[in-house]
Amino acid sequence: MNKVKDKIKVSLEFEVVDQDQLFEAAKRALEELRADVVEKHGEASDHQYGLPLEQLIKEELFDPGEGQLHLASCLLVLLDKATINGAGVELVASSAGPE
């Protein structure tokens, strides 16, 4: 485990121009994140992203109460995928929602 050098907080605002494209990108990111976890820790892993893919999609990308696609969660998965391997940062907390 690396020693934390600095903590940073970033606030971003996005406009979704293609919901289907965002969903597909987030779904691909989940597939890659899951494959990485399974490769490193095995199929029965209790690590984040270790669940079966369909369950991950349901839990990570959709609002649990309404069952609707949660756009901000899609973006968080993409950000996590972008930073998880070798970017020198780790996503440790997130909060997301509509404007």
Q: What is the pLDDT along the chain (99 residues), one digit of tens a residue?
A: 567 677 777 777 888 999 999 999 999 999 999 998 888 887 766 778 889 999 999 999 998 888 899 998 999 899 888 877 666 666 666 666 655
| Element of type H or E holding 47 | none
Cβ neighbours for 50, distance < 8 A, ≥ 6 positions apart: 34, 37, 38, 41, 44
Token representation of residue 80? 């996590």
pLDDT, residue 93, reads 67
Half-sphere exposure of 68 (CA within 13 A, CB side): 6
pTM: 0.80
Cβ neighbours for 22, distance < 8 A, ≥ 6 positions apart: 16, 71, 74, 75
Instruction: Report the C-alpha gap between 33 and 36 in whole angstroms.
Output: 5
pLDDT, residue 85, reads 66
pLDDT, residue 5, reads 73
| Element of type H or E holding 44 | none
* Structure letter (DSSP) for residue 62: B
The DSSP bridge partners found for residue 11 are none
